[in-house]
Structure 1
């Protein structure tokens, strides 16, 4: 079938999309499901871990969830738009933390360093978004970008550790009214991205493109614009993750953020975002990150070995993802 014929066919027979009422009903179902899973996980942790319900432990859980949560929330628009997930998460966040620490070590004012890192990370993200919008597979694109970023940063750092040196960051790892700075940023960023997705034209277009790209394009929605915006949001989240970690530790290497890619993707899936796009929310991705942090915390407090923690955590995450997916399918089939 030639291109004009294909376009005419799509226009005459667009794939049906859920009504607003059905979509809202499914969103409520998924929200309650994710909150229910979080409640069950917390109750189990309370029963199995005597020291779980303490203020210090709650603060530790949220602090551990913050980095993964920021990245998961930032990647949610990308997944919602039908562009799956990025495989350059670890490398991009690592580049952000290295760049921030190097700039601070050179005596660059902190606010200037923050803006430079965010701007640079966004440029890298936009370049990937443009390539994906042009038609290249997003998984291949981000995988290649990750390899390039890692190679460049490794070459620049020589595989060693970079430090802020004589320019310590007073707010790094600090707290405001007892709440860790990174947790506050996690909360504010989640609110901002949630509002973007739920209360703006861009957010609604992103969800429609992910649910049915052909119908969205017939409606005049630009896949390229939606994709680039999603990559911009994603890049800002990665920059924030790198900046916060650089401020907290005052040093960085090309090996920073091991396992961040898997953890962020797991948080999105546990939060019930459909990997094929069109259904999910940043808020649920944030809850997914907290669920994973609670499970990990419970394993640590119960003295599980590293291998045991990974095995149990992986198994529980898989069961939760399967449960959430079954609920989504049931909600879809009942429409």
Structure 2
């Protein structure tokens, strides 16, 4: 069922049409497949910069099949105009990485991507792509009888180190809301200058059943790299203390006390500094908060997220529409779903 590879081109290298096999000694059989459904995510939730996230019911779907050679990528929906159609596609790279972890490769792959998560809008599309690729690799490995599926902790670790945003990745893996953190073997924990391997860890929070989510998505895009560059290297101690208290309160509000959401989503560490990059987003967050909504910038923006009890009233949605945003009520989502089989 499995064949040995005589080639060695470096398993860590992203897949290309001419170099799929890598260092792997085992090649997946042709004709096995996996199907993945992965949710969007919103990071930070106001105060929880780089550590809080929530899964949202907007889904990308992936079907991957092993073939005799090359990489073929079909895309519909979001990104259809600009994502690559070869082995440099982020999902294909994530599949390659997941297989390489198990010492396995594929002679070829066919990917069918149906994308609903908006790109470059602060809804975790890159993290979702990483999670879907790694989950697909897991499904292929199971179908080939090579190993058990990656467990949740492995998927969080692999997707976080691959894509770089554990708050988004963990939310897409685990579903609901998550708290994430990093650990290393270094005495004193993880330092800002650490280059040693880091463990990415996460815990799922059971979101209160009364809490609903509304996203306000603009037509404009935002670069996480650019908006992160607007943040200062140091902040006043009082602002750090403020965010620590609000992050702790956010856990309580999300799980037990939705009435505290407005206070729990206040922030002094990142949103104000990024406002110059997205004036309509900053204006909408301010307007919605004045109307009593727990509104935050979703991730690096420019989407706005509102968490609360019940729907956002029509008159408040109209404010967002007037600023160029499209409002949509979305569910708090479960985690990534994987099925596998033979085509």
Q: TM-score, normalised by structure 2?
A: 0.25
Higher relative contact order (CA 8 A, sep 6+): 1
Q: Give 1 or 2: higher helix fraction.
A: 1
